[in-house]
Structure 1
Amino acid sequence: MSNKHDPEALAIEDEKHQLDVPIVVDAHTEEYQEYLNLCEDFRGEREQKLNRKIDWHILPPLMLIYMMTYVDRSNVGNARLFGAQKDLGMSGTDWNIGLSLLFVTFAVGAPFTAALGKKYTTRFKLPLLLAACGGTILAAGCSNNKAAWYAFRLILGFVESGKFIAYVLSTWYSSNIFTTRYSWFYFGATISGAVSGLLAYGIAQLDYHWGYRGWRWIYVLEGFVSIILAILLCFVMPGTPEASHKWVTPEEQRFILLRGKYTYGTDKSGNSSEFKLKEYLSAWTSPHFLVPAFSMFSFAVGIFAFSFTLPTIIASMGFTAAAAQGLSAPPYVAATFAVWISGWASDRYKKRVLMVVVPAFVAVVGLAMMWFSVGKPKLVGLCYTGCMLAAMGFYPLSPTHTSILALNNAGQSKRSAAMGGLLVFTQVGGVLGSNIYLSSQAPYYPVGFGVSAGLIIFGNLIVMTGYWFYVGAVNKKRAAMTEEEIRARYTSDELEAMGDKSPLYIYSR
């Protein structure tokens, strides 16, 4: 079949040329005619200028919020090295239970905050959540027993579940640049591992200062910084595209709203921006949510286990606790570059599933190197290289999975449900990942490395390869019908109501 009649080839061409050839939807609707006219006005440099304007106003505050909430979450591994477990009278099992509790309340809260994220503005909501995270972390630094520690972990998980940022990005950016922008934004999460390690290294120099252990200083000071930043962000945090903004003209605002409606999935039928409960619930039975979400779960087990255990693994190489904090930063720096390259390649070549398979393979190689060399003094270099590769493989997977969900779930209600549901699967993975690196198996961790590698291989290599073939078969079946035949059978309203089930919708793979 030639590219002229191949829907996937046409979809890729439309994305590559940033809608230089507008997609035909329904030439008789006023709204779509308005969209076509705006496409003419926003060709080439003008659209790129608009995207850069959005970048400067949207990405920095979102990146900062994501980075600080991840710092607040990931510093638990650093706190353990500086006496938190001992001071709170916790066994290794108790500690793992504490790690898991955050993911339980996060998973419970995520679907509800996903629905609320569609209905309420983010301008004050996200800074408020950051302040709540900072306050919870600060209070956790004052804990004196296991019960208080568990309570604050539960609260932190519920508060963080409202950090529904991927959906916010999908409302501002078109499908052809979503993955790149989400990767840029995800730098905040990736670099937070380095920031957390370096901050912990510096703050931990206060160990036993005024009679307090280093872990308390880490929590109290990082929590205080989060609260201050949250207050400042209230003055610069933008709202939704529907709200008025001084830096966006009415014409630009209208174009942003319409391209979000008509470009995802090169959607020739458009998709609704209204919140619809039926559409929201339909995501939970869609293979275009369930398959990528399972793949996300399988990698989440490994990435959370990795981030929680990395300082301990580095310390087992023979380094002091303080040195292990500093040495935990370079793997995250390397991961930041891997995230950028993966996001760029995904949008440049439109090979979404390939950008899951390649990083997943790198992560498996890194885990294998760590598993083989950990605890062997003569193989410290090999083990540390494995840490670098594992981080470079793990971290690009989250933006890619998120972009697949955004591109293959049409209608903003269904898309918000899919992204909220993705958080549920991720947190369930976090619960399992918190309990596979057993202190009784240190420093070799056969269960931790084995489970992490096995799930990555099955969920991200095997399952996602199968999804690639499945999506190809669906697209081929839809290509068998001409647009004229489809429009003769369905009205424009019916096609819009179908969302990504519309025969005019082309899935990304």
Structure 2
Amino acid sequence: MTSLAGMSPTGSEKAVAEHNNIAGGDPINAAEQGLVATDQYGRALVEIDAKAESRLRRKINLHVLPPMAFMYLFCFIDRANIGNAKLAGLEKDLELHGHDYNAVLSIFYISYILFEIPSTVACKLIGPGWFLPAITVLFGVCSVCTGFVDNIHAASGVRFLLGIFEAGMMPGIAYYLSRWYRGRELAFYLSIYVVTAPLAGAFGGLLASAILTLDHFGTLHTWRMIFAIEGLITIGLGLLSFIILTDRPETARWLSQTEKDLAITRLKSERVGTTEVLDQLDKPKMLRGILSPVTLCTAVIFLLNNITVSGLAFFAPTIVKSIYPDTTVVAQQLHTVPHHVPTHPLRRDLFHLQRHIHLWCALQRPPIGTNVMFGNIGGLISTWSFLPSDAPDYHIGNGLNLATSAMTFLLAAAMWMWMRWDNHRREAVDVERVLEGFSQSEVQDLDWLNPGFKWRT
């Protein structure tokens, strides 16, 4: 590793380098001490050995990604398994009529939306290493409790609590991963979570069909077994995560001290004028992040995308039943799986665009909460997209899904083009003149308003 990035420093860069005292010294220690890691143009003042970073990234992937993936998987399953339960008799046993099922679905999203940003704040205050396992256990408990409800009122109450505890999962995961990954890496992994979410529906269908082959689970039968067994799996996963999840690089027992320092430095080295990896609430930064044009646009995109994803998760079993009315319940559950496969290539095509539009939001924690909150307004809309009166062809629901998918693609493409245009505009700005007289903390607080900031496209 070298003490300076491979470039010829300007006068201002030399001044920053002298401030960091990294010329001929250890850049890792300089970054660890909370000093500047980039100049005002956003260029790194330290150069990190690519091979060492690659080894570190592989180790992080091994220890961080698996628990996140499983928690997100069962978060989605515990949310959507009500669709599988409806197919197995929930609607009849709870005496749901007309739009009662749609109403029960909506209750979940009301609490989910209301508690999205408060949950994001709580995650920052408590720490994701503790917060994420805790809410996993709690929404697992809610899933188990759903197996014991006897009427619409009890079902609505449990679904309301489920929304509260699941609200912090997606922004919490984004926040947690931002403690470990660079911006481009973070955008990559978050986009994978987004585009593969429908596959959780396929897994849920397979799991539900397997559960329904059992005669009973304790005193529970049919659809009640789905909630109880899947909820217990979720609780076990949450309890295990308390043990295996590491809150941050500084506390990772599986990293050496050199690796811990490298993990921190590589994050600082791509933040414009950043002297620290922020983990505390910062109101000005939060407002700038929320009002970022990219945050607002991706919030709308997530809203549109969630109408399709959530709608299919909740209503695919119902649609399948109308197509195969004479088959067994287990066979109908299995028929809910294949429809997720042909939609995946389209989502993979959208993957690269979604990587770019998620990048800024990946770097800012409160905007992630805003994004997910708006996205779940789309989930709320989806609960009323497939109505009994529109059966069996569901022209309204299918037409809505087609329209939202098309708009998602167009908005993502427009955002990508705007980011490229804005980067080109910023290249003509005299950054030193604009930032003249600004203190280091003031430069750091500018975030995307810093003229040296560039969108990564």
TM-score (norm 1): 0.76
Indicate the residue corresponding to 2:40 in structure 1.
none
Deviation at 1:247, TM superposition (A): 1.1
Of the structure 1 ranges 467-476 and 221-230, higher mean CA displacement relative to structure 2 is found in 467-476
Indicate the residue corresponding to 1:122 in structure 2.
128
Indicate the residue corresponding to 2:360 in structure 1.
408
Does structure 2 conserve the Cα–Cα contact (< 8 Å) formed by 1:268 and 1:505? no
Does structure 2 conserve the Cα–Cα contact (< 8 Å) formed by 1:299 and 1:394? no
Indicate the residue corresponding to 1:233 in structure 2.
241
Deviation at 1:215, TM superposition (A): 0.6
Deviation at 1:187, TM superposition (A): 8.2
Indicate the residue corresponding to 1:89 in structure 2.
95
> What CA distance in whole angstroms lies between the structure 1 residues aligned with 2:330 and 2:421?
54
Indicate the residue corresponding to 1:4 in structure 2.
none
1:494 aligns with 2:442: yes
Q: Deviations over 1:118-152 (max 9, x none)?
A: 23222232222111111111111100000000000
Does structure 1 conserve the Cα–Cα contact (< 8 Å) formed by 2:353 and 2:412? no
Evaluate the alpha carbon distance shift between residue 230 and residue 461 of structure 1 in structure 2; reply closer, same or farther with a 3 A threshold.
closer
Q: Deviations over 1:406-441 (max 9, x none)?
A: x3259x6xx111101111011111000111111221
Query: After the TM superposition, which residues 279-294 of structure 1 pair with which residues of structure 2 at under 5 Å, given as runs?
Result: 279-294=285-300
Residue from 400, 416, 421 that aligns with 1:473: 421
Deviation at 1:37, TM superposition (A): 8.0
Indicate the residue corresponding to 1:311 in structure 2.
317
Evaluate the alpha carbon distance shift between residue 198 and residue 32 of structure 1 in structure 2; reply closer, same or farther with a 3 A threshold.
farther
Indicate the residue corresponding to 2:20 in structure 1.
30
Q: Look up the equivalent residue of 1:306 and give its one-letter code.
A: L
Indicate the residue corresponding to 1:9 in structure 2.
none
1:132 aligns with 2:138: yes
TM-score (norm 2): 0.84
Indicate the residue corresponding to 1:393 in structure 2.
346
1:464 aligns with 2:417: no
> Unaligned stretches of 5+ in structure 1?
1-18, 335-387
Indicate the residue corresponding to 1:503 in structure 2.
451
Of the structure 1 ranges 82-91 and 191-200, higher mean CA displacement relative to structure 2 is found in 191-200
Q: Look up the equivalent residue of 1:149 and give its one-letter code.
A: A
Does structure 2 conserve the Cα–Cα contact (< 8 Å) formed by 1:166 and 1:402? no
Indicate the residue corresponding to 1:433 in structure 2.
382
1:249 aligns with 2:197: no
Q: Look up the equivalent residue of 1:180 and give its one-letter code.
A: F
> What CA distance in whole angstroms lies between the structure 2 residues aligned with 1:231 and 1:251?
30
Residue from 115, 119, 132 that aligns with 1:109: 115
Does structure 2 conserve the Cα–Cα contact (< 8 Å) formed by 1:132 and 1:159? yes
Q: How many matched pairs?
A: 428
Query: After the TM superposition, which residues 49-60 of structure 1 pair with which residues of structure 2 at under 5 Å, given as runs?
Result: 49-60=55-66
Deviation at 1:185, TM superposition (A): 5.3
Task: Describe the SS at the equivalent of 2:393.
Answer: coil
Q: Look up the equivalent residue of 2:120 and give its one-letter code.
A: A
Q: Identify the structure with the greater helix proportion.
A: 1
> Unaligned stretches of 5+ in structure 2?
32-43
Indicate the residue corresponding to 1:6 in structure 2.
none
1:326 aligns with 2:300: no
Indicate the residue corresponding to 2:75 in structure 1.
69
Evaluate the alpha carbon distance shift between residue 183 and residue 170 of structure 1 in structure 2; reply closer, same or farther with a 3 A threshold.
same
Task: Describe the SS at the equivalent of 1:294.
Answer: helix
> What CA distance in whole angstroms lies between the structure 2 residues aligned with 1:153 and 1:416?
26
Q: Look up the equivalent residue of 1:245 and give its one-letter code.
A: A
Indicate the residue corresponding to 2:269 in structure 1.
262
Indicate the residue corresponding to 1:302 in structure 2.
308
Does structure 2 conserve the Cα–Cα contact (< 8 Å) formed by 1:63 and 1:186? no
Indicate the residue corresponding to 2:190 in structure 1.
182
Evaluate the alpha carbon distance shift between residue 192 and residue 395 of structure 1 in structure 2; reply closer, same or farther with a 3 A threshold.
farther
Deviation at 1:282, TM superposition (A): 2.8
Q: Look up the equivalent residue of 1:455 and give its one-letter code.
A: T
> What CA distance in whole angstroms lies between the structure 2 residues aligned with 1:483 and 1:402?
28
Indicate the residue corresponding to 1:198 in structure 2.
206
RMSD of equivalent CA atoms: 3.0
Does structure 2 conserve the Cα–Cα contact (< 8 Å) formed by 1:173 and 1:260? yes
> What CA distance in whole angstroms lies between the structure 1 residues aligned with 2:218 and 2:360?
55
Deviation at 1:237, TM superposition (A): 1.2
